[in-house]
Structures are given as structure tokens and as C-alpha cells.
């Protein structure tokens, strides 16, 4: 996938690889019984549909000349009955395959979503989210039809050709050879069109993916767009992407539209040749009107499965590329996961140790180098320093959002790499800089961290962080619906709700990353009282640029130059008159 590029095409040009099709059998085998039933129904419907020209031949050659009204009526009812049976069986088959197709979509999307939730932060940092979405939505839709209807239709169209060929041979072997004479011409036309047609539709998919990636990015950043009046520039970029998509679509449709006229023209020429050879070339009386009518009917039908098979193969080749992208996502390694033999952490006291830890987001570029420190259970530690020094990185490593390259991190003396992620993170309360609010009620958003929490527990957490008052003032209180990302809430309100969500989990280790950055001074003073009560008996890591909020912490660590430059209480660091002193006095001034 093109990383962080909405204007760069994915490479979808791939050979037809049966390996991917074979691997997809895991999604097919659950429904193979229904697919076999669908195939049987399709075969029966095809045979019933092919009886019609035989009945027409009988009527023209015998029944009508003999003026047998009773037989003619029977033939008419028979024709109606066979066509009706074919329609009913086809409808039943269609319903079965609709269910199968939707079940396959459900299974693939369920696996994709479950896997995407386990992927590390680095996966989402490196890729346009819109291009991830198009794999889960568009590619899965396309692939599911190939895995269900595509396979059945491919087998069915081959059987249709065999059935039609058998019926034609039953009517007239000589005219059957005439009907087959157009095949070489058809193959030449398809050979000239199909490769370009496949590439054209792959280009459509690429341009759709690019447009989707840019659209998703702009929906998320709509407010920033308006703040900086970027509407016209963004509209111009989108027009360019949209124009490329339209151009690609029109080119693909141009190639597709060549198939139908070519097939129709060849089919028309073959039917004309049947009449010419049957009436003018062959001996007089050798071919009856009924035989000609039956053969022209079968000849027109014979070309349909040929064209369908060609389209199905083209669709297969396209969808194999999509299937490869789906499996590529499913194969993306979950680098942050429970190692083999990982044990439950058990209830912790909250002692945290870093032992000679080195870490970098990119190989060869370290953010932290050889950091070591010990935090006692119940101790509060503030991390300060310039932007980008590694403060948020340290708390992310404690939660094991990333794996370290060198050293060891322990909680209560147990390496965090040796325990299950759930047992570690379930005892940590983490409030990141991004106060993400989900669509739903305020009650549901706070309860997100503890699904079995009672309404009273939710309100108690909200009161602790001074959120209860503004929530109760809303029209429906805690049952007030909020939009995705909390667009109707102020920045401070979102942070308070996020804070309540973190506190509700009753963590042994509390991480507050810029927890009060969007809260006014008056609310912050009240909130600080709640924080001080909450910190008692809990190990806490607090990142704050407002140094007045962390004066009472047991320890303050100044992070810079890939390590800890200073460490001590507020008074101790002020006496040193070092980096913390300069930062504090500058901020106070």
C-alpha cells in the first residue's frame, strides 16, 4: 500500500495466482453444501430453458402442418411450464447465492476488523486510512461475489455450453459446425480487448482508492480546512482526483462496450449464415423451417456463455489482485502481541522500572537511549521537557504500545514482555493527548473502559473530574447523544469525559498525558483536587507543559537529549538551577 500517499496508485497488476484462490477456500468450505445445491438448481434451470427450441421445432415441422390444435396447445403449455420452472429454479438459486455471498462478506470483514484492532500503532501511522477502508469495504464486496457467484457461474457457463452443444447436435450436426465457425473470430476480438480492459478496470480501482483516501482525510480535518480557508485549494485537489477517476472509468467502459457489439455482430452473422447455408447451400428439403428456427435459437444462446466466461475470467484476474491485498492486510504482522507462554500479570502494586532502555520509532534513529529509573508503588512522577524529547514515548512503552530494542521494563519486578497485554493494560488508566470521543451517549463513552460499571460508578467518576455539572446541564444529561469525535463538545468537555473514562477503570498505574491542556484555570483548580485524591495509593505518570500542575509530584524527571537530564522533587530541581529551573522560571515569567 502506498504509505501516506493519497495520489499514489497501489500496484494491482498481478498474474492470475491460484494460490490466493486456494487460500480463500477457508471462506468457501463453510457454504459448499449450499453452493453445490445452487449448481444443481442452475443445471436444472439450464436444461429446462433449452427445451423451448425443441418444442418450437416440433410445432413448426409437424404440429402446425398437421393442424393438430390439441398438440399445439400442449406444446404451448409445455413451453410456458419449462420456462416458468427455469425462472423459479433460477430465482431460488439466486436467493441461496445471495445469502452465501453476504455470509462470505461477513466472515472476511469480521476477520479483517479483528486483525486491524490488533495491529500496532505504527501500521496506522504509516498508511492513509482511506486506503485501509477501501480494502475492508470495496475489495471485500468485489471478492465475495467472485468466491460465491463467480465460481458457480464459471462452472455453470461451461456446462451451459456443453448442454447447448448437445442440443444443437441433436437437431443438426452439420449446422452445428456452422454455428461454431464464429469462435476463432470471437477469440481474436477478445484477445485484442481483454488485457486492456482488465488494466483499465484496475486503474479505476486505483483512482477510487486515491479519491477515498483524500476524502476520508478531509472529512476528519474539515475544521482545520475551514480555519485556514483551504476550501478552494482542497476542492481543486479533489477535482483533480475526481477527474482522474472519471477519465479512468470512461476508458474502462469504452473497452467493456466493445465486447457486447462484437458478440452481437458475430452472433448475428452466424444466424444469417445458418439461414444462407440451410436454405441455399444445402440440398432443397434437407433442412426444415423448424430445424432452422431451433438452430438459430441455440446459436444465439451459445454465444452468451462464451462471453460470460470471458467476463468471469477477466473478473477473476482483477479480483485475485484485490484478494491479494486483503490477505496482505490479514498477513500484516501483529508485532505487539502476547509471546508464547505469556502469563497473567496478576494484581499489581504499581512498581515500575526501566533498565537500560533504548527505543526508536525508526530503525537507526533512537528517541531514547540507555534510560534507567525506578518508580515505587504509589509514587507520582512528572515528565517534563521540550516537545519531541520522548515524554509520551516513555508512557507508551510502559503500556507496551511499542516494543523496545534494548533493555527491560518491569512492573512489580515482572518484565512486561512476559505477561499478557490484557492483564497489563487492564490495570493501567491511560489518558492520551487525543481525547477521542465515540459516537453514542456520554454514559457509554465514560463506561467504555469498564463495561460492567453501574450508572452510579459512572457519575462518581464524572464528579471526581468535575464533569458531572456540565453533563447534567445538557438536555438529556448522561443520555445525551454525541457525534463521532465529540464535534458538539468543547475541547475541555471532551477531556473531562475522557478523564472520567480513564478513572472509571480504577487503575493501579495512572498515565495522564496533557490531561488538563484544554481545561480553563477555574476548572483545573477543582480538577486538581480530584486528581490529588485519586493519585493516593496509585503509581502515576503525568505529562504536563503547565508546570504549576505538577509541583506536588513526588518526583519530576526532565527528559531531553534521549535521556533523563535531571530528576528530583520540585524544590530539589529549583535549587540545582539547571534545565528544569530555567524552564520553570521562563514559564512563570
Q: Where are the beta strands (DSSP E) in 360-463?
A: 368-375, 380-384, 406-411, 414-415, 428-431, 440-441
Q: Are 508 and 348 in contact (CB under 8 A)?
A: yes
Q: Do the Cβ atoms of 371 and 564 come closer than 8 Å?
A: yes
- Predicted confidence pLDDT, tens digits, the chain (589 residues): 445 466 666 665 555 566 777 788 888 888 889 888 988 998 888 888 888 888 888 888 888 888 888 888 998 898 899 889 989 998 998 889 888 888 888 999 899 999 998 888 778 877 777 778 888 888 888 888 788 778 788 888 888 888 888 888 888 888 888 888 877 877 787 777 777 777 787 788 788 888 888 887 787 777 778 877 888 888 898 899 999 989 988 988 887 777 767 777 787 888 788 888 877 777 776 778 788 888 888 887 887 787 777 777 777 777 777 787 888 888 888 888 888 888 999 899 999 999 999 999 888 889 999 999 999 999 999 999 888 889 989 998 998 988 898 999 999 999 999 999 989 988 888 777 667 788 888 998 899 888 888 999 999 888 887 888 889 888 888 998 887 666 678 777 887 888 888 888 888 998 888 766 556 666 666 566 656 666 677 899 998 777 777 888 899 999 999 999 999 999 999 999 999 999 888 877 6
The torsion angles phi and psi of 255, rounded to 5 degrees, stand at -70, -40
Name residues whose C-beta falls within 8 Å of residue 51's C-beta, 6 or more positions apart in sequence: 78, 79, 82
Give the closest residue to 115 by CA, choosing from 98, 136, 134: 136
User: HSE-up of 15 (CA within 13 Å, CB side)?
Assistant: 3
Output the CA–CA distances (angstroms, integers) from residue 294 to 54, 55, 172, 275, 304, in the order listed. Answer: 6, 9, 9, 12, 16
Q: Count CB atoms within 10 A of the CB of residue 509.
A: 25
Residue 441 DSSP one-character state:
E
Dist. CA 39–CA 157, nearest whole Å: 11
Average pLDDT over all residues of the chain: 83
pTM score: 0.68
CA distance 137 to 139: 6
pLDDT value at position 253?
82
Q: Is 184 helix (H, G, I), strand (E, B) or coil?
A: helix
What is 512-533 written as a DSSP string? Answer: EESTTTTS-HHHHHHHHHHHHH
Give CATH 3.40.50.300 domain extents, the chain: 339-427+508-520+537-589, 436-506
pLDDT in tens, 266-298: 878 887 888 888 777 777 767 787 888 888 888
What strand order describes the sheet that includes 368-375? Answer: 368-375, 352-359, 406-411, 414-415
pLDDT of 492 reads: 74
Write the pLDDT tens digit of every residue in 311-337: 777 777 777 777 878 888 888 888 888
Q: Which CATH architecture has domain 436-506?
A: 3-Layer(aba) Sandwich (3.40)
User: Strands 539-543 and 555-560, how do they pair?
Assistant: unpaired
Q: What is the 3-state secondary structure (H, E, C) of 541-570?
A: EEECCCHHHHCCCCEEEEEECCEEEEEECH
Cα–Cα distance measured from residue 27 to residue 453, given in angstroms and rounded to the nearest whole number: 38
Parallel, antiparallel, or unpaired: how do β-strands 509-513 and 539-543 relate?
Answer: parallel
Candidate CATH numbers 3.40.50.300, 3.40.50.10680, 3.30.1490.20, 3.40.50.620; the one for domain 339-427+508-520+537-589: 3.40.50.300
d(CA 107, CA 88): 29
Quick check: helix, strand or coil at residue 289? helix
How much is the pLDDT for 417? Answer: 92
Within the chain, all domains assigned CATH 1.20.1560.10 are found at 18-330
Whether 7 contacts 210, CB under 8 Å: yes
The CA-based diameter of the chain, rounded to the nearest angstrom, is 122
| Helical H segments across 119-182, by residue range | 121-125, 129-134, 140-145, 151-171, 173-180
18-330: CATH superfamily: ABC transporter type 1, transmembrane domain (1.20.1560.10)
Task: Write down the pLDDT at residue 2.
Answer: 46
What count of other Cβ atoms lies within 10 Å of the Cβ of residue 373? 15
| Contact assessment for residue 558 and residue 567, using Cβ atoms and an 8 Å cutoff | yes
Amino acid at each position: 500500500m502506498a504509505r501516506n500517499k493519497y495520489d499514489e496508485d497501489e500496484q494491482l497488476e498481478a498474474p492470475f495466482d491460484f494460490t490466493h484462490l486456494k487460500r480463500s477456500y477457508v471462506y468457501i468450505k463453510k457454504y459448499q453444501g449450499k453452493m453445490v445445491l445452487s449448481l444443481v438448481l442452475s443445471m436444472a434451470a439450464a436444461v429446462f430453458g433449452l427445451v423451448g427450441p425443441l418444442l418450437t421445432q416440433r410445432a413448426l415441422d409437424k404440429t402446425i402442418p398437421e393442424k393438430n390444435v390439441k398438440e399445439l396447445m400442449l406444446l404451448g403449455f409445455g413451453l410456458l411450464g419449462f420456462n416458468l420452472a427455469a425462472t423459479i429454479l433460477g430465482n431460488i438459486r439466486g436467493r441461496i447465492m445471495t445469502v452465501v455471498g453476504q455470509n462470505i462478506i461477513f466472515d472476511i470483514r469480521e476477520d479483517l476488523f479483528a486483525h486491524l484492532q490488533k495491529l500496532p500503532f505504527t501500521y496506522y501511522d504509516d498508511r492513509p486510512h482511506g486506503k485501509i477502508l477501501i480494502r475492508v469495504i470495496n475489495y471485500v464486496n468485489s471478492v465475495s461475489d467472485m468466491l460465491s457467484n463467480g465460481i458457480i457461474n464459471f462452472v455453470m457457463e461451461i456446462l451451459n455450453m456443453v448442454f447447448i452443444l448437445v442440443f444443437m447436435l441433436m437437431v443438426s450436426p452439420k449446422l452445428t459446425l456452422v454455428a461454431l465457425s464464429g469462435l476463432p473470430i470471437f477469440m481474436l476480438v477478445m484477445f485484442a480487448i481483454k488485457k486492456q480492459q482488465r488494466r483499465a478496470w484496475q486503474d479505476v480501482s486505483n483512482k477510487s482508492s486515491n479519491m477515498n483516501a483524500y476524502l476520508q482525510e478531509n472529512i476528519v480535518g474539515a475544521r482545520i480546512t475551514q480555519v485556514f480557508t483551504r476550501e478552494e485549494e482542497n476542492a481543486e485537489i479533489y477535482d483533480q482526483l475526481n477527474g482522474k477517476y472519471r477519465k479512468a472509468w470512461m476508458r474502462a467502459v469504452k473497452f467493456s462496450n466493445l465486447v457486447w457489439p462484437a458478440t452481437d455482430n458475430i452472433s448475428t452473422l452466424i444466424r444469417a449464415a445458418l439461414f444462407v447455408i440451410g436454405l441455399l447451400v444445402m440440398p432443397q428439403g434437407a433442412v426444415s423451417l423448424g430445424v432452422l428456427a431451433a438452430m438459430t435459437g441455440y446459436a444465439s444462446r451459445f454465444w452468451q456463455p462464451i462471453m460470460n466466461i470471458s467476463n468471469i475470467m477477466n473478473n477473476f484476474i482483477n479480483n485475485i489482485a484485490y484478494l491479494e491485498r486483503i490477505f496482505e492486510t490479514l498477513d500484516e504482522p501483529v508485532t505487539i502481541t502476547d509471546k508464547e507462554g505469556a502469563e497473567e500479570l496478576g494484581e499489581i502494586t504499581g512498581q515500575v522500572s526501566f533498565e537500560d532502555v533504548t527505543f526508536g520509532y525508526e530503525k537507526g534513529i533512537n528517541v531514547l537511549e540507555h534510560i534507567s529509573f525506578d518508580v515505587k508503588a504509589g509514587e507520582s512522577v512528572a515528565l517534563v521537557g521540550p516537545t519531541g524529547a520522548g515524554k509520551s514515548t516513555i508512557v507508551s512503552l510502559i503500556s507496551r504500545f511499542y516494543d523496545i530494542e534494548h533493555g527491560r521494563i518491569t512492573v512489580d519486578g515482572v518484565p512486561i514482555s512476559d505477561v499478557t497485554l490484557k492483564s497489563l493494560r487492564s490495570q493501567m488508566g491511560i489518558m492520551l493527548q487525543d481525547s477521542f470521543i465515540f459516537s453514542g451517549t456520554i454514559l457509554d463513552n465514560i463506561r467504555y473502559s469498564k463495561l460492567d460499571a453501574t450508572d452510579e460508578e459512572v457519575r462518581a467518576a464524572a464528579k471526581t473530574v468535575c464533569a458531572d455539572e456540565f453533563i447534567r446541564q445538557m438536555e438529556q444529561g448522561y443520555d445525551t447523544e454525541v457525534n463521532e469525535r465529540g464535534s458538539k463538545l468543547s475541547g475541555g468537555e471532551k477531556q473531562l469525559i475522557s478523564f472520567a473514562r480513564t478513572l472509571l477503570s480504577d487503575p493501579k498505574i495512572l498515565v495522564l498525558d496533557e490531561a488538563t491542556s484544554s481545561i480553563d484555570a477555574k476548572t483545573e483548580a477543582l480538577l486538581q483536587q480530584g486528581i490529588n485524591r485519586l493519585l493516593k495509593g496509585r503509581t502515576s505518570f503525568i505529562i504536563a507543559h503547565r508546570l504549576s500542575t505538577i509541583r506536588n509530584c513526588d518526583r519530576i524527571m526532565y527528559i531531553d537529549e534521549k535521556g533523563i537530564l535531571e530528576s528530583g522533587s520540585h524544590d530539589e530541581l529549583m535549587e540545582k538551577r539547571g534545565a528544569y529551573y530555567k524552564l520553570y522560571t521562563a514559564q512563570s515569567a
